[in-house]
């Protein structure tokens, strides 16, 4: 199943190729202060594929905090945070914000809260490597 998404202004767009045999999509509302303040509700599937386009890469900011092991990609034009990435052993993994989905029935979301504050760095990276999207690419386009 293809899911399309974007930030509010469309500067960051993505196509998420979700495994057909998994009709329900987990939606984890992280309770960290950043996600709470920005409405981050994240999903991933290690068998999914994600393609992201930054139409104006100079209008995308990366924000890291805490353990500095994840980068939140923020559109500086509209303030939306559609994706988070984590580089682990020279490989980039990602999760996407379900609040940025465009063509998706929200009844298919399986919402839950998530708390990762007690994880040590090694456990956190191991969880991401196991659960986040590994088939991931970002294309940068500078439009005039």
User: Environment class of residue 131 by beta-carbon count within 10 Å: exposed (0-12), middle (13-18) or buried (19+)?
Assistant: middle
Give the pLDDT confidence score for residue 141 in this predicted structure.
72
Give the pLDDT confidence score for residue 142 in this predicted structure.
59
**Which of the two residues, 32 and 100, has the higher pLDDT score?**
100
Report, as an integer, the average pLDDT of 15-19.
96
pLDDT category, 90, cuts 50, 70, 90?
Answer: very high
In CATH, what class is 2-140?
mainly beta
Show me where the domains of the chain are located.
2-140
For residue 143, pLDDT over 80 is answered with: no
* 52 close to 137: Cβ distance less than 8 angstroms: yes
pLDDT category, 114, cuts 50, 70, 90?
Answer: confident
Which tens digits make up the pLDDT trace of 35-70? 888 889 999 999 999 999 999 999 999 999 988 999
For residue 14, pLDDT over 80 is answered with: yes
For residue 27, pLDDT over 70 is answered with: yes
- Cα separation, 22 vs 25, whole angstroms: 7
**Ramachandran bin of 82, using left for φ above 0, alpha for ψ from -120 to 50, beta for the remaining angles:** alpha
**Which of the two residues, 96 and 116, has the higher pLDDT score?**
96
């Amino acid at each position: 199943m293809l899911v399309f998404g974007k930030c509010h202004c469309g500067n960051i767009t993505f196509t998420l190729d979700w495994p057909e045999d998994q009709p329900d999509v987990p939606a984890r509302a992280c309770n960290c202060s950043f996600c709470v303040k920005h409405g981050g509700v994240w999903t991933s599937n290690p068998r999914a594929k994600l393609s992201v386009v930054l139409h104006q890469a100079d209008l995308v900011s990366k924000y890291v905090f805490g353990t500095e092991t994840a980068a939140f990609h923020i559109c500086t034009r509209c303030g939306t945070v559609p994706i988070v990435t984590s580089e682990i052993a020279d490989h980039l993994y990602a999760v996407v914000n379900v609040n940025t989905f465009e063509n998706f029935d929200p009844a298919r979301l399986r919402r839950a809260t998530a708390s990762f504050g007690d994880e040590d760095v090694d456990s956190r990276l191991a969880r991401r490597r196991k659960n986040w999207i590994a088939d991931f690419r970002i294309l940068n386009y500078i439009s005039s």
